Amino acid sequence: MRVLAIETSCDDTAAAVLDDGGVRASIVASQDKVHGKYGGIVPELASRQHMVTILPVIERTLADAKVGLDDIEAVTATYGPGLVGSLLVGLQFAKGIAFSRGLPFVGVNHLEGHLLAILLDRPVAFPYLGLLVSGGHTSLYLVEDVGKYRQLGRTRDDAAGEAFDKGAKMLGLGFPGGREIDQRAKEGDRAAIRFPRASLKTGLYDFSFSGVKTSLRQYLLDGGKAELPDVCASFQEAIVDMLLAPTLKAARDLGATTIVVSGGVSANSRLRTAMTEVGNAAGFDVAFPRFAYCTDNAAMIGYAGRARLLRGERHDLTLNAAATLPIGVDA
C-alpha cells in the first residue's frame, strides 16, 4: 500500500510518501523564520503559513517520490493533539484528497507517530520503554505494539522543550531555544551552576520542569556572573538529569531491555550522549531516531497510519481535529 501522509500539528508543514520499500520521500517546511522574532509559536501565523505551504510541500514530496496522486492508494494525516488551526489545514487537505479520489483514510495521533518513529530506521522488538520529549509533551510510555500504549508518567507542568525555549528567551537567545542552548552549551561547563532538580514525592515516573525554569530566572535577576556557555550547559544538564532519572527507574522497574527516546528534544546532543552512556552502563539498549525523524515530520505519521490501514482500520471523513488527544491507557 502506497500512502501519502500529512503532518501539520504545530509549526512545521510536512508530507511523506511510504510504501513497502519504506519512505519514498519526506519533506518538511519549517516556520522558524515566521515565529523567531516572537520567541515562540504564534498559532494564527502558524495556521496561515500552513495554508500557503501545504500544496507546494505535497507537490514536491510526490515529485521526490517519483509518483503522482494516481499512484497513491491511501491517505493519512495527524488529527491531534496540537494547535487546532494548524491541525485543520493538514487534516482537511488529506480528507479532501481521500474524498475526491475515493481513497481510504485514517487519522493518526501525533504522539503515536513519535513513539513509533524509531521503526522507520531500525527494528525494535516490542515491548520497549518510550520517552517522548518535545516542546509540548514529556511522557513515558510502555510501547507494547502499534496502537497499544501504557502511559507510565508525564510532566506535571512544563514540557522539557518548553523549558528550553523559555530559558533561551530569558537568556536573549533565538528560537527554537533548545537548539540555541544546545549549541552554546558545547563550550560551557556543566558544573558551573547547580540548578535544582525536581524530586516528586508522588508519581514515580513523572517530571517537572517549572522549578528549573524559575531558578534560571532568579539566577539572572540576582545578577549571575557566569559566562553564557556555562549558564546554558548547567541549565541543560539539569533538564537532562531530570529526564534520565525517571526513565531509568521505569526501565529497571518494568524489566525493559530497550529505551527509545523520541520527539524534538531527542535531537539534543547532551541528552543523546548522557542517555546512551548511562543507559548502556545499566544494561539497556538505548535508541534514538535519526535527526530528521526527531522533530515533527510526516514520515512517522505515515508509518503509524500505514500500519493501521494495513490492519483494515479506517476513519470516517467526519473526523475532526483535537487540540488534546490522549494515547493509550494509564499504567
User: CB of 122 within 8 A of CB of 264?
Assistant: no
Tell me: do 140 and 93 sit in the same domain. Answer: no
Please report, for the domain that includes residue 7, its CATH number: 3.30.420.40
CA angle at 225 for the pair 199 and 220, rounded to the nearest 5°: 55
User: Using 50, 70 and 90 to split pLDDT, how confident is the model at 330?
Assistant: low
Tell me: do 194 and 247 sit in the same domain. Answer: yes
- Residues in contact with 180: Cβ distance below 8 Å, sequence separation at least 6, in sequence order: 168, 173, 174
Tell me: do 178 and 238 sit in the same domain. Answer: yes
Residue 201 lies in a domain: yes
One-letter identity of residue 113? G
Tell me: do 63 and 155 sit in the same domain. Answer: no
Residue 272 lies in a domain: yes
Residue 120 lies in a domain: no
Tell me: do 219 and 93 sit in the same domain. Answer: no
Tell me: do 168 and 280 sit in the same domain. Answer: yes
- Buried b vs exposed e over 293-318: b needs ≥16 C-beta within 10 Å? bbbbbbbbbbbbbbbbbeeeeebeee
Tell me: do 156 and 284 sit in the same domain. Answer: yes
The Cα 154–Cα 220 span in angstroms is 28
Task: Give the domain extent around 240.
Answer: 125-288
User: CB of 25 within 8 A of CB of 61?
Assistant: yes
Tell me: do 70 and 139 sit in the same domain. Answer: no
Tell me: do 141 and 262 sit in the same domain. Answer: yes
Looking at the structure of the chain, the number of domains it has is 2
Of 107, 104, 115, residue with least CA distance to 148: 115
Tell me: do 74 and 165 sit in the same domain. Answer: no
Q: Which of 272, 288, 304 is the last residue of a domain?
A: 288
Q: Taking the CA atoms of the chain, what radius of gyration do you get in angstroms?
A: 20
Share of the chain above pLDDT 70, in %: 99
Q: Which single residue is written with the C-alpha cell 500539528?
A: 9
Over residues 107-165, the pLDDT tens digits come to: 999 999 999 999 999 999 999 999 999 988 999 999 999 999 999 999 999 999 999 99
- Residues in contact with 301: Cβ distance below 8 Å, sequence separation at least 6, in sequence order: 5, 6, 7, 14, 16, 76, 77, 78, 108, 110, 113
- Residues in contact with 133: Cβ distance below 8 Å, sequence separation at least 6, in sequence order: 159, 160, 161, 243, 261, 262, 263, 264, 265, 266, 271
Over residues 295-329, the pLDDT tens digits come to: 999 999 999 999 999 999 999 999 999 999 988 76
User: CB of 224 within 8 A of CB of 193?
Assistant: yes
Tell me: do 325 and 207 sit in the same domain. Answer: no
